[in-house]
Amino acid sequence: MRQTDHVNNLWEAMKKDQQKEMIDHLKKQAAYFLSHSSSQTSFQTFRQFQTTGERSTFEQLYFERRKRLTTFGLLSYIDPDNALFLTPLENEIWQVCQEFTWCLPAHLDQQMEGQSYEAYQQSNTLKYTIDLFAAETAFSLAEIIYLLEERLDSFLIDQTKIEIDRRVLRNFINNGPFHWERADHNWASVCAGSVGAAAIYMLEDQNQLDMVLERVVCSMEHYLNGFAADGACTEGYSYWQYGFGYFIYFFDLLERATGDIHEFFDSDKVRKIAQFQQHIFLAGNHVINFSDAAPFAKPMLGFTHYLHKKFPEIHIPMKEAGQREIVDHCGRWAPAFRELQWYESEWQGTGWPDTSALFEQSSVFTSRITHNGHTYAFAAKGGHNNEPHNHNDIGHFVLFGGGEVFLKDLGAGQYNKAYFSDKRYNFICNSGKGHSIPIINGQTQLHGERYQAIIQQAEGFSDKEIFQLNMTKAYSDSTLIHFDRLFVLEKSQLPVLTLTDRFHFTTKPSSVIENFILQDMAYDIGNNHIVLKGEEQSLKISFGSSIKPRITRKTFINHQGEEEAFLQLQITLQKINIEMETTIVFEFCSCHS
């Protein structure tokens, strides 16, 4: 008996009327794909990462095929009586099976697909890299051919199974351990979870399946080890969606296949990880985007509904805030399919509630406040400068009000070879100069775990929040004896944030510059203050007479490869002493004066 027979009745019938808006998006995308042929990748495009470090051109073509595969696959499953999408789905499956590798060139192991002919002659075998996308591809194809087995061409099914087996499953069984099996970040859950899911669908030998699942569960333990007890994802919200998503997809599938609920679902840490989403949003779709994270994000409503069933304390956001275009920019099948399956149309949801949260071990503090119908939010971080997708940003903060971010995080830059090399901190979005932290004696923070902060105080009251960091070890300056940063957020009326920095040096410093990263918006400079003029509200930034401000408009290339502007406010302290204190006040106001 095939192993997939243990997964009978895995999916209940699709309630098409409940997901109409999602399906309408799919049909529009399918109409475009049907009128446009899929693009082929040239050899030069494939080699571009190795020759120039540029990766976006190939990846755009690669992900377009996955989008086509997922779109045609979903619609073929949703509407089995309509043959319109089945033929293009078969063509996309066939094209994926013909790809030289399912791995991205940026992740290619030069000892595998990248090996020389001489190396191949010595082993007489060709091994395949299993990266995030090779593993995801195996998961996607295995689930699609399982769900549509009675409708797809039998020859195509056999060839697809062969490709899944030789590129991923047999590769995983006969080789390894792979580096990601012991990773403490999203690679462990995505790669292992996808391999495990494909194995559940395809492996008929119970001993082989048990061996694979044992390694997969071990990798999931490593993934969880990457989280502190507080459940915060220091990689950022999008990586929480990604990594934790595949963690859940695998264990849900395993539960359905075996009938047993895994002990991980009873874990307090998993419960706290599941709650991360409801604390990391500023308001609406604005997200706290420390690290390589995007400033805007949409919760996956189906995924959230599933989590709520497992953990009732999970907040259900409003439908308006959730994803409607469920096929993401990488064309991932697994999350898109589950968004349709897990979505509960009768659950209306509500806006993000007022909250304050301290992720103590990760050293992140967040606060969200409602005042006269407007949401205001503040977040600051300590931690260290060797986190996954690290930025040199100890003491950095964001401030949001009236629908806009005023003090911002630049988030992720464009990924290329240099971005993940020793040149990483030449990119301003990753460097200390690209964050709201001081520049001391001409130097900012450096990369490394020894550059860190210690939480001195984190308290919430009815009228204010207090977050204080000892940042002495965040800088390599040998003359810096002590530096602490104190945030006091008054929230009884329109919020006011007071920032106080206290410095103590062995010798008089040459310079101390308070550096802030602001949204690109109109502003006025007044006597000892600056007013940022938002569309609905303004933010007055006040400082003492001994401070000299300078605002510069700058740009960087963001994760989408687009030029993005921001304002850099630098306040040079004028009265330099061995011991000194500076206070800067950020006050929301309803006028532009």
Q: In a structure prediction context, what are the per-residue pLDDT tens digits for the chain, which is 593 residues long?
A: 243 443 333 344 444 445 788 888 999 999 999 999 888 889 999 998 888 988 889 999 999 999 999 999 999 998 888 889 999 999 999 999 999 999 999 999 888 888 888 888 887 777 899 999 999 999 999 999 999 999 999 999 999 999 999 999 999 999 889 999 999 999 999 999 999 999 999 999 999 999 999 999 999 999 999 999 999 998 889 999 999 999 999 999 999 998 888 888 889 999 999 999 999 999 999 999 999 989 999 999 999 999 999 999 999 999 989 988 999 999 999 999 999 999 998 898 999 999 999 999 989 999 999 988 899 999 999 999 999 899 999 999 999 998 999 999 999 999 998 999 999 999 999 999 999 999 999 999 999 999 999 999 999 888 999 999 999 999 999 999 999 999 999 997 899 999 999 999 999 999 999 999 999 999 999 888 999 999 889 999 999 776 778 999 999 999 999 999 999 999 999 889 999 999 999 999 875 54
Other Cβ atoms closer than 10 A to 521? 17
333 and 362 belong to one structural domain = no
Inside any domain, residue 16:
yes
456 and 327 belong to one structural domain = no
Contact 585, 494 (CB under 8 A): no
Peptide bond into 177 cis (omega under 30): yes
267 and 142 belong to one structural domain = yes
**CA 213 – CA 192 distance, rounded (Å):** 9
- Judged by DSSP in three states, 29 sits in helix
DSSP state for residue 334 in the 8-state scheme: H
335 and 362 belong to one structural domain = no
Here the CATH number for the domain that contains residue 76 is: 1.50.10.100
Count how many domains the chain has.
Answer: 2
Q: For residue 124, give both structure tokens.
A: 């007489």
334 and 271 belong to one structural domain = yes
Inside any domain, residue 250:
yes
549 and 424 belong to one structural domain = yes
Q: Is the dihedral of CA 38, 44, 48, 50 positive or negative?
A: positive
Among 315, 342, 369, which residue terminates a domain?
A: 342
277 and 371 belong to one structural domain = no
434 and 332 belong to one structural domain = no
Inside any domain, residue 437:
yes
Residue 287 lies in domain:
3-342
How would you classify the pairing of strands 512-518 and 464-470? Answer: unpaired
Among 278, 312, 342, which residue terminates a domain?
A: 342
488 and 427 belong to one structural domain = yes
328 and 424 belong to one structural domain = no
Inside any domain, residue 247:
yes
Here the CATH number for the domain that contains residue 410 is: 2.70.98.70
Inside any domain, residue 45:
yes
Contact 308, 314 (CB under 8 A): yes
DSSP state for residue 167 in the 8-state scheme: I
**CA 301 – CA 316 distance, rounded (Å):** 8
Inside any domain, residue 348:
no
Among 286, 320, 342, which residue terminates a domain?
A: 342
305 and 422 belong to one structural domain = no
Inside any domain, residue 350:
no
- Phi, psi angle pair for 345, to nearest 5°: -65, -25
**CA 449 – CA 229 distance, rounded (Å):** 19
295 and 361 belong to one structural domain = no
Inside any domain, residue 347:
no
